[in-house]
Each structure stands twice: as C-alpha cells, then as structure tokens.
C-alpha cells in the first residue's frame, strides 16, 4: 500500500515516524501541494494525503487516472475538496479529526484578547506609549457570549467559558441535551440581538455561506464582537468591514478569512499581498487576525497525521473507516 503525503511541513515529519512499520505501508513525502504539474508523484499510489490545497474536479480525475482511490485531508474541514466529483467517479474522501481543545482554547483566548483590547495595548507598548488611552476593556463575566454551532468545538468552548461566569447562549441545528445545564439554546435572531460576543463554529456549506451578512450584522447588538475560528466564508467580509468602520461592530478576532488559501501557511515578507480586505482588517486597531492557526498544537498535529494515515489504511484494507466522508 502506497500513500503520497503532500504539503509536508518540517514540523510534521517527526509525527510520521514509525507509521510505515506499524501499518506495513510505503509513505512518499513531498513539500509541494498537489497540482497538475506534479500529478505523476501520485503514480501507482493507492491514496494521497493533503491539507488545505483546493482539490477540484480536474485534480480528482487526474489522481484517479494515476491509480489513486482515496483522498485524506489532514483537517477537520473538507470544503476544499470537490466532494460531488469524487462521488461521481468513485473516489473515496476522508478527513482527520483531532481534539477540539486546541481550537476551543484558542477561541477563548481570542475572546479575551478582543474584549481587553490586547492588540492596542501591545502596539502602544511597542511604540513606548504607556498611557491608558483606548485600552479599557470589559469583564467577560458581565457579557453574554453567543455560540453558533455546538459540535465538538462549540461544546468545548462553552464548557471552558463556564469558569468565567458569563451568560452563554447558543444556536445549533442539533441541540445537545448534555449542554442544556451549561448554556441556553435560543433562536438565531435572539442570539444576534442579545450577544456581546458571537463565536462561529459552523462548517463551510452552501447554506452557511455569508451567514453573517449586512442584514444579520444590523440585527446584532451594538458594538458586538465577532470571533471566527471556523471558516472564512461564513462572514461577508465587505459587510463586516463596513460595520466596523461605522461603529456597529465593536471588533473582531478572525483566525480565518475569505480567500485565505493562497496566502496562509506561506511567507510573504517584503512582498505585496493582493488581498485588499486582509490589508484593511490588519490596519484596524480593534481587529485581530491570525493565519488559521487555532488548531496548531503538538497534540493536534500528532492526531491529524496519525488519523489521516489510519483512515487511508482502513479504507484501502476494507476495515471500518471512522473518518470517511464519501
């Protein structure tokens, strides 16, 4: 069994040690992302392991022609893969889950940073401005936090927030009985109207695309803070920028933004980045941007790598595959 692993980072390599012997497989590594120009790397491979590079229909077809029958992404999200095309030609696809704690902790950190104006405090300090101008924050325990989506990560965020004593409300298509002593489920309209902080934990789907748009933002509580550690496509970035500029939204902390794929996880020192909305958001003192790193802990990397390889092995061996999508 041969598996080609694309986009391998140096920091990932130690987590692959021993997996070939454990599973009796051959693993071929490349630091290149999958693309038509290097498709021959997958020749006679049974499976490929990718990360966030878009895998559209042409690439899926090319993989199939090279003998690949399974694509595993080392991520929870799989919206970068053309699932419908994979179904059409019989290409299997799976993701790789990891502990929700990594993203949940990061989410709570961003909440605290946003409501305590940490970006302004750090920037002022670096400029030797030690005054108290524009750095007054709020106590989290006095705020209402609205969580949209109570899957594994959303649930863990709510559990972590309990210690702060804040009011926690949530909306989810599937309400979890075990969460009802921790938070109160409300309608989306109620959540928007009552939340001081709104935290997004929804997958990227056609239905969730731009769920935070101009109309929704206008229905929010004045000066609300938006936290997004899920997917950039959930927010209409133009509408968000307008709302921050006019003062409707009090701030945002975004680990993900629209059209990030071409830039995140790459280095652009001293180069012009043709992403105007990123530049505008970066310039705002009440907006925190991080490059899709909420997941990035040692534990998460270990689980992502091992679960992705285990998914490939299970699928190709005909065993139960816990991570199979199609």
Report the alpha-carbon distance of residue 67 to residue 32 in Å, rounded. Answer: 19
Q: Is 253 exposed, middle or buried (0-12, 13-18, 19+ CB in 10 A)?
A: buried
Which residues sit opposite 168 in a β-bridge?
145
For Cα atoms 67, 69, 72, give the angle at the middle one, nearest 5 degrees. 125
For Cα atoms 72, 230, 239, give the angle at the middle one, nearest 5 degrees. 130
From the list 231, 258, 303, 315, the catalytic residue is 231
Q: Which of 293, 290, 260 is nearest to 11 (CA)?
A: 293
Q: How many CB atoms lie within 10 A of CB 12?
A: 18
260 is catalytic: yes
* H or E segment and range at residue 288: strand 287-289
Strands in 38-172 per DSSP E? 47-50, 70-73, 92-94, 144-148, 167-171
Report the alpha-carbon distance of residue 233 to residue 212 in Å, rounded. Answer: 9
Give buried/exposed letters for 222-246 (b at 16+ CB in 10 A, else e): eebbbbbbbbbbbbbbebbbebbee
Report the alpha-carbon distance of residue 286 to residue 117 in Å, rounded. Answer: 7
Alpha-carbon distances of 314 from 74, 77, 135, 321, rounded to whole Å: 15, 20, 53, 5
Dihedral sign from CA coordinates of 211, 159, 197, 103: negative
231 is catalytic: yes
From the list 12, 260, 303, 315, the catalytic residue is 260
From the list 74, 85, 201, 292, the catalytic residue is 292
Which residues are marked as active site?
231, 260, 292
């Amino acid at each position: 069994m041969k598996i080609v692993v694309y986009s391998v980072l140096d920091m990932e390599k130690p987590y692959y040690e021993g997996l070939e012997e454990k599973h009796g497989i051959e693993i071929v590594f490349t630091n290149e992302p999958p693309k038509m120009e290097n498709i021959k790397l997958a020749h006679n491979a049974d499976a490929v392991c990718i990360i966030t590079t878009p895998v559209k229909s042409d690439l899926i077809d090319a993989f199939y022609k090279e003998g690949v029958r399974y694509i595993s992404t080392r991520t929870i999200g799989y919206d970068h893969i053309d699932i419908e095309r994979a179904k059409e030609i019989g290409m299997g696809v799976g993701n790789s889950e990891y502990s929700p704690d990594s993203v949940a902790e990061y989410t709570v950190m961003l909440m605290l940073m946003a409501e305590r104006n940490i970006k302004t405090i750090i920037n002022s300090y670096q400029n030797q401005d030690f005054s108290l101008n524009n750095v007054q924050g709020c106590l989290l325990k006095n705020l209402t936090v609205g969580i949209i989506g109570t899957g594994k990560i959303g649930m863990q965020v709510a559990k972590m927030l309990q210690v702060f004593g804040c009011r926690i409300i949530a909306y989810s298509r599937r309400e979890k009985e075990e969460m009802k002593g921790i938070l109160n489920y409300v309608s989306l309209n109620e959540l928007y109207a009552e939340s001081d902080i709104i935290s997004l934990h929804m997958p990227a789907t056609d239905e969730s695309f731009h769920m935070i748009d101009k109309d929704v933002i206008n229905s929010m509580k004045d000066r609300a803070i938006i936290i997004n550690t899920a997917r950039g496509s959930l927010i209409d970035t133009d509408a968000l920028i307008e709302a921050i500029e006019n003062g409707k939204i009090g701030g945002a902390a975004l680990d993900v933004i629209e059209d990030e794929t071409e830039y995140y996880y790459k280095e652009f020192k001293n180069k012009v980045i043709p992403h105007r909305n990123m530049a505008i958001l970066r310039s705002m003192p009440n907006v925190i941007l991080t490059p899709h790193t909420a997941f990035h802990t040692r534990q998460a990397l270990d689980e992502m790598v091992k679960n992705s390889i285990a998914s490939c092995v299970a699928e190709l061996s005909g065993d139960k595959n816990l991570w199979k999508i199609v």
